[in-house]
């Protein structure tokens, strides 16, 4: 469990740091893979739980990354969207946020302590990604990292979350990514870039 959590947090740091959107997408896909494998391992051979974990694996590690790749293909950036913060700053910021989150995690009583820490670290890391990265696609990836964190907690709960809820969350996620991709495409069509800072002028 702790290895999986450590891997996921490390991948989260990757998303906040890397320059290319394709690499970040791959990192989130791997994160989904780790999450799916952990779910499979925790399912412990029970038929229904196994099927569910398989669904998680397929959606998180394959379907969503595929949607994101399609979205990226449709929105080629002509020029580099210059990051406002340097790699070192982002890394430092991410580390600080994760440390605060882990230190402040109250006992939630939802599963193993390490899973609770990991979940909150990923949640905060995801939001930080949205806050420091300008391209729309990377912000969607930040949301996915945060979502993976919440999901980590869900699969860590002993006895599990009802299957209907898990499937519902998966369906929601696909919907969110589809809509976000469509929006990113539209914004790109109008503005010619996925840089969300260009949208500031839309405020009334």
- Judged by phi (left if over 0) then psi (alpha if -120 to 50, else beta), residue 200 lies in alpha
Question: Rule CB under 8 A: is residue 99 a binding residue for other proteins?
Answer: no
Question: Rule CB under 8 A: is residue 109 a binding residue for other proteins?
Answer: no
Nearer to other proteins, 7 or 125 (CB): 125
Judged by CB under 8 A, the residue of 51, 70, 92, 199 near other proteins is 199
CA atoms within 13 A on the CB side of 32: 25
4-12, 31-39, 98-106, 176-184 -> range binding other proteins (CB under 8 A)? 98-106
Nearer to other proteins, 47 or 106 (CB): 106
Q: Token pair of 76, please? A: 């080629």
The single residue listed with the structure tokens 């991709």 is 181
Judged by CB under 8 A, the residue of 3, 66, 100, 179 near other proteins is 100
Helices 163-191 and 136-156 sit at what angle, rounded to 10 degrees? Answer: 170
Helices 64-74 and 136-156 sit at what angle, rounded to 10 degrees? Answer: 180
CB of 200 to other proteins, least distance (A): 4
Question: Rule CB under 8 A: is residue 196 a binding residue for other proteins?
Answer: yes
24-32, 62-70, 132-140, 156-164 -> range binding other proteins (CB under 8 A)? 132-140
Binding mask 58-97 for other proteins (x = CB under 8 A): ---------------------------------------x
Q: Token pair of 89, please? A: 């700053």
- In whole angstroms, what is the distance from residue 71 CA to residue 81 CA? 17
State the Cα torsion 30-32-34-39 to the nearest 10°.
-160
**Contact positions vs other proteins (CB under 8 A):** 97, 100-101, 103-106, 120, 123-124, 127-128, 130-134, 139, 142, 196-197, 199-203
């Amino acid at each position: 469990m702790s290895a999986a959590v450590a891997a996921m947090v490390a991948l989260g740091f990757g998303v906040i740091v890397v320059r290319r959107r394709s690499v970040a997408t791959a990192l989130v896909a791997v994160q989904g893979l780790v999450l799916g494998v952990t779910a499979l391992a925790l399912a412990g051979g029970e038929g229904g739980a196994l099927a569910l974990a398989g669904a998680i694996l397929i959606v998180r590690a394959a379907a969503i990354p595929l949607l994101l790749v399609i979205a990226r293909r449709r929105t080629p950036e002509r020029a580099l969207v210059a990051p406002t913060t340097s790699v070192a700053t982002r890394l430092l910021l991410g580390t600080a946020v994760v440390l605060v989150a882990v230190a402040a995690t109250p006992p939630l009583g939802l599963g193993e302590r390490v899973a609770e820490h990991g979940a909150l670290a990923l949640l905060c890391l995801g939001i930080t990604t949205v806050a420091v990265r300008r391209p729309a696609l990377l912000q969607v990836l930040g949301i996915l990292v945060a979502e993976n964190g919440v999901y980590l907690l869900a699969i860590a709960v002993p006895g599990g979350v009802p299957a209907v809820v898990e499937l519902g969350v998966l369906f929601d996620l696909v919907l969110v990514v589809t809509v976000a991709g469509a929006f990113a495409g539209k914004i790109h069509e109008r503005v010619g870039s996925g840089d969300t800072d260009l949208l500031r002028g839309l405020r009334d």
